[in-house]
Amino acid sequence: MEVEQLRARHELALAWEPFELRPHAPETGWAVPEHIRARMRLPNNPLRQRATALGIELVEREWVPSSRRAHECTEHARAEGKLAPFHAAVLRAYWSEGRDIHAWEVLESCAAAAALDPAAMRAAVESGAFARVVDERVEAARDLGIHAVPTFVIADRVLVEGAQTADVFEQAFARLAAL
């Protein structure tokens, strides 16, 4: 993967942080407008091209589930030292399998795949244990000027938005070195 290529040339730390594109969207999710679905189907769509280049299958979505519960579950996984496998399972469930990452059965299956106790995760999230940390991290991202997913923050000074190639990151590192 390109991150590994970049790590070979640069000192990198990758930190997944929560971000809600539509924080006021209904908990039940929302329909993807047809014009966006049509744009996603285009063969030259950058996200589709990046996924294809990386061997990732993307499903076409008609409905976008709320990500809020998934973010809180991710914070539970972080606290339990299982962030990477849980996050990978959630990304796969959403992007490649087209599953509803707001649904407890999906999140619990992701927890099990990450060697987390699904019942303990659900109890912690339902107690509100991670609501505040998600709120604070989302607000911190907005304060940095982030408004897209994914967004990479390099040295707290350069933002790279979107599913970009290693070349784009190399250009960002060069810009940073010139500052």
Does residue 12 register a pLDDT over 70? Answer: yes
Q: What is the Cα–Cα distance from 7 to 78, expressed in whole angstroms? A: 22
Instruction: For residues 87 and 172, state if they share a domain.
Output: no
Instruction: For residues 4 and 87, state if they share a domain.
Output: no
Q: What total of structural domains would you count in the chain?
A: 2
Q: What is the CATH number of the domain that holds 105?
A: 3.40.30.10
* In a domain? residue 93: yes
Which band of pLDDT confidence, cut at 50, 70 and 90, is reported for residue 54? confident
Q: 1-15, 75-89, 134-148: which has the minimum mean pLDDT?
A: 1-15
* In a domain? residue 105: yes
- pTM given for the model: 0.88
For 95, the domain range is 21-29+65-144
Check residues 123 and 45 and name the one with the higher pLDDT. Answer: 123
Instruction: For residues 116 and 173, state if they share a domain.
Output: no
Does residue 64 register a pLDDT over 70? Answer: yes
Instruction: For residues 128 and 162, state if they share a domain.
Output: no
